[in-house]
Amino acid sequence: MSDMLGKYELRRVLGKGAMGTVYEGYDPVIDRTVAIKTVRLVGADSEDAQALEELERFRREAKAAGRLQHPNIVGVFDYGETDDIAYIVMEYVDGTTLKQVLDNGERYGVDEVVRLMDALLAGLQFSHDRGVVHRDIKPANVMLTAAGAIKIADFGIARIESSSFTQAGTILGTPAYMSPEQFMGQRVDARTDIYSTGVMLYQILTGDKPFDGGLTAIMHKVLNSEPLPPSALSVAVTPALDHVVLTAMAKQPEKRYASASAFAAALRNALHAEPSTGADQDRSGRGKSGPDDDDGTLVVQSARVPTSPLPATAPGPGAWRAATPRKNLPLAGIAVGGLLVVAALGGGGYFLFGSGHGDQPAMTSAAQAGPAEGAPAPAMPPAPQQAQAPGAQASAAPDPLRIAAAVGTLPCSFLTTGRDGEQVSLSGYIGAGAPRVALDTAMAKLPGSAAQIRNTVRTVDGPYCPIFDALRPYHGVTSGGSGLAMVLSGGDRPLHDGDPISIAVKLPAFPAHLWTVYFSNDGSAVRIYPTSSDGAHAFAANATKTLGDGTQGGARMQVGAPFGTDLAVSLASSTPFPAGRIPAEGNVASMTAAMTELLSKAVGSGGQVAMELHPVLTRPKGQ
């Protein structure tokens, strides 16, 4: 094909439906393969109600997914309309759907199921935190990349918080995966996605859906019947996994997990609590679910549904925290997440790095819930203490070694303990949701008063757990720091679209070589030192290198979309980093692999290493 749609080349047809076509496309401006989804454009006065509904859903998909930039969500890059069609330009995913895998009879081991679900739930938590409820989670809307990553697709019937387009009284979804409140036409919130994900987990573990049949039969079972425990159908499923699945599928929303991250944490705990044994087999005596045609999305307006004692669901998640969709790139530079990198040569500009958005699948994920992005952790409430006899002394505050033993190996953490006189401190970073809860729980169990521990650990919202976990083994939790530090010019405050990003890196207390990478909240990454114009060299002990300030050499940096919490990471080594091992751009997976390889080689050769992380909060103008 050689047709053009706006600036995009249409290369081949990927699929066709009653309302539109999906193409493989190409963006020649930034040399990227994309997927382009189209629907027929109809006027507001059209009498074709189905076409109008499809078009509205299509626009809603662009609006919902366009604000969600996450490694486990199919990215939306652009939206446009011609005289005849509307189109969405999306991330091109080289892979298949989970439905195709299940229809082919393929089965996963329990460990792999937990890994896939962890990634899926990370994407859902990110979506829910931004006020978007998917409402149609099912295997057909879960993409599996060639590298094994999970990506959620098709936000066509998503409900956006504060949107009035679809409210109570409308039934939308795919019957086999719909929650009781969806069948009843009640208002839905994030717990509807929890239910649908529980149904999908049931199917992945057993090969069967918990409820099957026609629409009426499924609705009756969902509202009135309990499914068989998954362990009744597969010996690979433990009672602990039964509990997780059936909790997610509870008929009353308040009895389900309160968030996707809580669901993920429970699933991980179930895996570690009771490892499965024996070969996976079907106990039901029934054949496994094969390909079927009942996975189409149902849309019923103003439906009359049976009454039920189920209460209406609570309002949806809190205020939307924007993740602005990508816009056209300015000729002066390349936007990478919250970072715009521009070459500083006589005031002119040229492309310094290629785009890192969506070209490579992100293979890892993080829990995405909890406090506001990058916000300092609130002070720990004192742990409950038993009454003491008069004159008794309170337990002494734990020393740094005891704190390190309690929290130093928590997943998705990068922590440091220390002591300043009588004051014990804990600092660093922890992933949102389950990791934060695990930290708070561990701290509450320590002896003494929490007031005796200066806890400044920051919760970081973003796909950074793999980075924390990869760097932690090379980081001395009780080392007190090596002197490597990063400071944002102007202080630790949110930066807005167009603001300069200047990072002063103070080198450690030994002569060192430096490598600094900027990770964006969409999972992409670029190396900001060394660059082609600001080459690598050894720094003296305690030297300072300023990055992002064009007047001091190297690349000038400024904030650009998408916005959120980005992360700058600096590594220092007394031995040089091999130039060929330091990619100029990549994603969380590729850069994390490169960092661990370099650190391993440096430590293996007897060198000293140091590392420092610094979140960078970026916002649109006016927010």
In terms of Cβ atoms closer than 10 Å to its own Cβ (0-12, 13-18, 19+), residue 83 is: exposed
Helix 190-206 × helix 260-273 angle, to 10°: 30
Report whether 403 contacts 417 (CB < 8 A).
Answer: yes
Nearest C-alpha neighbor of 176 from the set 262, 249, 112: 249
**Catalytic-role residue among 27, 136, 242, 469:** 136
CA angle 44, 46, 48 (to 5 degrees): 125
Distance CA 495, CA 563 (A): 10
Query: How many CB atoms are located within 10 Å of the residue 483 CB?
Result: 16
Spatial separation of the C-alpha atoms in residues 212 and 176, rounded to whole Å:
6
Q: What are phi and psi of 77, to 5 degrees?
A: -100, -30
What distances in angstroms separate CA 102 from CA 144, 205, 439, one per listed residue?
12, 10, 37
CA 77 to chain centre: 17
345: Cα separation from own chain's centroid: 36
Identify any residues that bridge with 150 across adjacent strands, giving them in sequence order. Answer: 144
**Contact call for residues 153 and 358 (beta carbons, < 8 A):** no
Whether 497 sits among the annotated catalytic residues: the reply is no
Element (H, E) at 261: helix 260-273
* 545 marked as part of a ligand binding site: no
Q: Which residues are annotated as a binding site?
A: 37
- Residues annotated as catalytic are 136
Q: Which residues are annotated as a binding site for ATP?
A: 37
